[in-house]
Amino acid sequence: MSVLFRGALILVIGTAVYAAITNKLNNKLTSYLWQSSLLVAISFMGIFLFEKLNWILALGIMVAPLTRAFAVRPFMALTTVEPPPTKRAARSRLRRLWREFIDTSWAEPYWREYGTSRLGQISTIVAIALLTSLAYGTAFSLIPLASDTSDIKKIISHGLAASLSLLLIGFFSMLNEEDTSSHIMGLLVMENGMFLAAIVFLADTDFLFSFFIGLFMYVALTLFILSIFAPRLHRASKSAFIGDQTELREYK
Amino acid sequence: MTGILLLGVILPFAIPILIYLPLRHKTPLLAKRWLPSFVAGLSLAFSIALAIDVTHNATNNEPEFSKTVLFFVDIHVDALSAYFLLLVNTVAFFAALHIPSFLEADSERPSTRVSEPTQNWFHQIVRWLNQKLSTEPAFLLLFSSFHVSMLLVPLMDNLALLWLFIEITTIVSAPLVGYRQDVKAEEAAFKYIILSSTGILFAFLATIFLIGNVPPELAGLEGLNWSTLRDNLPPKSNIPFVEFIFLLALLGYGTKAGFFLLHTWLPDAHGQAPSPVSALLSGVLLKSALYAILRFYVITNLALGDQGAFTSSILLAVGLVSLVAAALFILKENRFKRVMAYHSLEYIGIITFAIGLGTSLSIYSALFLMLAHALIKALMFLGYGLVKRAYAQNGIHEAADITGVFQQMPAASLVLSLGGLALVGVPPFGVFLSKFMILWTAIHIAQAKPLYSVAIGLFLLSIALIFAGLVNHLGKLLLGKSPVVIQADKQRRLLFVTLFILLAIIFGLGFSTWPITPLLTNSVEILCRGACS
């Protein structure tokens, strides 16, 4: 299970790398969906690795990445562009509510235009490789691994490395992306890094659940506020690109 | 006793209920506008009583802090938290007094664009919220929530909750920054929320790592408490990890405090927010983030057991760089509110530098500067807000066109010029003595460590440049010929009285700090654990 866990951590980093490299917002969203699903799997695997992480607790914390996986597209659609006027489709009530929530067809054409980076793909790959090495170097110097290191310590060390990688890659994406929606995607990747850190560091403590509630609330509220502010900014400045937000810039 | 006083302190919690429950339609508009100042006044009175209570307990050699459980949450009240509560409430009270005038002037603003109709329930919710956020009840609600969240920060013993409330300050203050909903305000609000939310994630990581390092015998939620960690973290264990945690906390909370390079949201948000909100942002929000850093500072010093050597070197460097950068920004041509924001960078730099010096005297001065800066910035932002509204009523909306204030509004020019002198630390204002004490400590240390001489030189040069920069900006605002004639206004005159009271408090603190001296000395004792030479 320990090997599987570490494999999942590498896949999580892979999704973050892909999200940072790809030049299409739609692809970033798909890789985020995979990343969140992997975090659900990691929470599940944690049951077999950490003593204090039981089934109920694991199911509780899985709610966070699951919700984000489902909600990211509708919220991102709102941050991309203001929704057009719509008419209510005549369907059964529950199905209609669900359809209305997940309907992002009006924003998808914009997603093809958004997601371009300032740096070219090669430079981005080099930068990400450096950041990931930095994350692994920091993690292994803080929690050194030796041949006699216990399995759980290895997991914590690798988990710390993966979480720092997500944090740095997400942060780099925020600096590297050209539009506000991709900017927000960077923030979401960073937040997944926090989730991972919380699992590996707090799974064997009594604080795990309270931390997840705090983290979940924070993400939900931040996304909600951003889904209000981003379109307002786009409407006011007539652009979704960071480079066009120059009203307050002192050095134009 | 402490519990009752605490309930009084967090009274602003009641405002959302009063605004949104049945009273909503029956309460006259004016009463609603004055509600935050009334409640902030009551909360201020309770926080003064709490400060006296805490001081009294400390002088009787009782434990230095008292713990109370309020709404299932561990509340920690010591001299430092009582001091911060006093600081928050004083600024919030004076800022709230200016809300009715701001809202009255703002009521003439055209309402925001109504979007095309939609039947999608999810979009309807977002649109409803979008429209509600720029209404007057929302402003009052958000202002009070902002006030309450900043009151809760110094009361939290639980470090995870401390983080949560600091993040909540961002969530509730971002709509206030973007309240006017024009392109500049939207840009500022977006930048503010993105940068603060990103930065604060690093602080969350620091909290996770810290809690992950808690010894197994501290199981249970108590292990998350600052007071438990302070007393139980084993000294000199896992040193690189503890240093890493402090750096993450500094990076995370430093974004909110506005250290150099992490400060980019600061001039935009302070410049675009309505004046009462700018006063809170500048006067209090930055200090709340500093408060969190101070709590980590104590834990780190005790865990490292190096007499504060590591934290001091980091804080000295961060503080000095912020101060020097502030001097360069202030010298530049800029709008007045942005210049005021850069003064926050200056003060954050000086305060951090003083804490980095790591002596009782310098920490005492740093704590005093926090209060002095909060009061002076409230004075400057509120005073400038009155000037701006008076000019706007006469058709001058651009900040660059506001000149000749001395000619048209002598009271305002007196407030702004005396406030400006207090800000740059001219005697007899208290800031002068604090800066002098910080410098004196640095000179004392420089005798043993010659490298400090460079820091002293940069410190003095920056302060001199900042003085010149502010005189230049104030001169442009106050002198010259006014483009309009400003008529006298009774309500404005009353508001200037509140500013003169604030000015009198600032002036009085320059002569004696006796009402807050016990709080300051006890706070220094708390912060000096594991540090201070």
Could you tell me the residue ranges of all domains in chain B?
Answer: 323-533
Domain range annotation of chain A: 2-83+94-242
Per-residue pLDDT of chain B (533 residues; tens, 9 = 90+): 666 777 777 777 777 666 665 555 566 667 778 888 888 898 899 899 888 888 877 655 444 556 666 666 777 888 999 999 999 999 999 999 999 988 888 877 665 555 566 667 777 777 777 777 778 888 888 999 999 999 999 988 888 888 888 988 988 899 999 888 888 888 898 889 888 988 888 998 898 888 777 776 766 656 778 888 888 877 777 788 889 999 999 999 999 999 998 888 889 999 889 999 999 999 999 999 999 999 999 999 988 888 888 999 999 999 999 999 999 999 887 788 889 999 999 999 999 999 999 999 999 999 999 999 999 999 999 999 999 988 888 888 887 788 888 888 999 999 999 999 999 988 888 889 899 999 999 999 998 888 889 999 999 999 999 999 998 888 888 888 888 888 877 778 889 999 999 999 999 998 888 888 989 999 999 998 877 76
Please report which residue ranges of A51-150 form alpha helices under DSSP H: 55-80, 93-102, 108-113, 121-142
> Rounded to whole angstroms, how far apart are CA atoms B325 and B329?
6
- The identity of residue A223, as a single letter, is L
Which residue among B171, B189, B221 places its CB closest to the CB of A222? B171
Predicted-complex ipTM score: 0.85
* CA nearest neighbour of A159 among A178, A140, A175: A140
- The identity of residue B481, as a single letter, is K
pLDDT at B62: 46
Chain B hits for A202, CB-CB cut-off 8 Å, are: 208, 211-212
Chain A hits for B129, CB-CB cut-off 8 Å, are: 224, 228
Chain A hits for B326, CB-CB cut-off 8 Å, are: none
Shortest distance, CA A123 to any CA of chain B (angstroms): 23
Contact A225 B224 (CB under 8 A): no
| B141 in Cβ contact with B153 (< 8 Å) | no
pLDDT at B221: 59
Chain B hits for A206, CB-CB cut-off 8 Å, are: 219-221, 223
> Rounded to whole angstroms, how far apart are CA atoms B5 and B149?
17
| B152 in Cβ contact with B163 (< 8 Å) | no
Contact A215 B204 (CB under 8 A): yes
- The two tokens of residue A73 are 């597209």
Contact A207 B160 (CB under 8 A): yes
- Whether A199 shows a pLDDT value over 90: the answer reads no
Shortest distance, CA B191 to any CA of chain A (angstroms): 10
